[in-house]
């Protein structure tokens, strides 16, 4: 089971996540309380191992902006949380992850429309597109065999194993679930990753 720690804004948090066993680091370029500037993200990514996925999170950006930031910063994937169409995703020159907000079976059916490298399932929108710390009905994905699925949305140390047992994702994606008072909590990061990696999933 792979783990992505999202909403990273400083090098120390990134290094602690990687040392604890994280497979991917997420940088939010969209409007968010975890938004990072291009220069800062570039500085952090330069210090990360090549084996780590570096994923940029965007909402309704132009193709030109996405591809420019991808190249400038050194990302490995573009994660799209807006209203991007399957055609738009196919037009991108770089690996992509399409996020789908799940409220009903109809939303789950949309997953098959996207032939991105990965699809991510997240909770319905709150103030921001993603990163709102709320869960959704995981049973909607029970029995669905999706090999390239990333599970996000309100995951915590306490609920990640039950969620994974139902959804059986390729990767789990956490942000607010490893924070305390809006800041990355290093002990929570370590505990979350340990739980996923050693949880017998």
Which residue among the candidates 23, 89, 116, 122 is catalytic per the annotation? 122
Which residue among the candidates 6, 89, 116, 164 is catalytic per the annotation? 6
Closest CA to 20 of 156, 167, 195: 195
Q: Which residues contact 27 (CB under 8 A, 6 or more apart)?
A: 8, 36, 41, 44, 45, 54, 55, 56, 57, 73, 75
| 140 phi and psi angles, rounded to 5 deg | -60, -20
In eight-state DSSP terms, residue 125 is P
| 175 phi and psi angles, rounded to 5 deg | -135, -75
For residue 68, the Cα-to-chain-centroid distance in whole angstroms is 20
Our answer to whether residue 122 is catalytic in this structure is yes
Closest CA to 57 of 108, 120, 110, 14: 120
Our answer to whether residue 6 is catalytic in this structure is yes
For residues 185 and 172, what is the distance between their CA atoms, to the nearest angstrom? Answer: 18
Which residues are the active-site residues? 6, 122
């Amino acid at each position: 089971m792979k783990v992505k720690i999202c909403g990273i804004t400083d090098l120390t948090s990134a290094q602690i996540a990687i040392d604890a066993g994280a497979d991917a680091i997420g940088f939010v370029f969209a409007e968010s309380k975890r938004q990072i500037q291009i220069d800062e993200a570039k500085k952090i990514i330069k210090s990360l191992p090549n084996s780590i996925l570096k994923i940029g999170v965007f909402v309704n950006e132009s193709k030109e902006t996405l591809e420019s930031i991808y190249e400038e910063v050194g990302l490995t994937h573009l994660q799209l949380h807006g209203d991007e169409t399957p055609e738009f995703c196919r037009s991108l020159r770089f690996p992509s992850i399409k996020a789908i907000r799940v409220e009903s079976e109809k939303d789950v059916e949309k997953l098959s429309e996207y032939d991105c490298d990965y699809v991510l399932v997240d909770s319905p929108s709150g103030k921001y597109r993603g990163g709102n710390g709320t869960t959704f009905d995981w049973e909607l994905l029970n029995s669905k065999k999706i090999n390239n699925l990333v599970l996000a949305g309100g995951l915590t140390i306490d609920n990640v194993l039950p969620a994974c047992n139902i959804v059986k994702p390729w990767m789990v994606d956490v942000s607010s679930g490893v924070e305390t008072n809006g800041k990355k909590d290093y002990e929570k990061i370590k505990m979350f990753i340990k739980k996923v990696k050693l949880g017998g999933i």
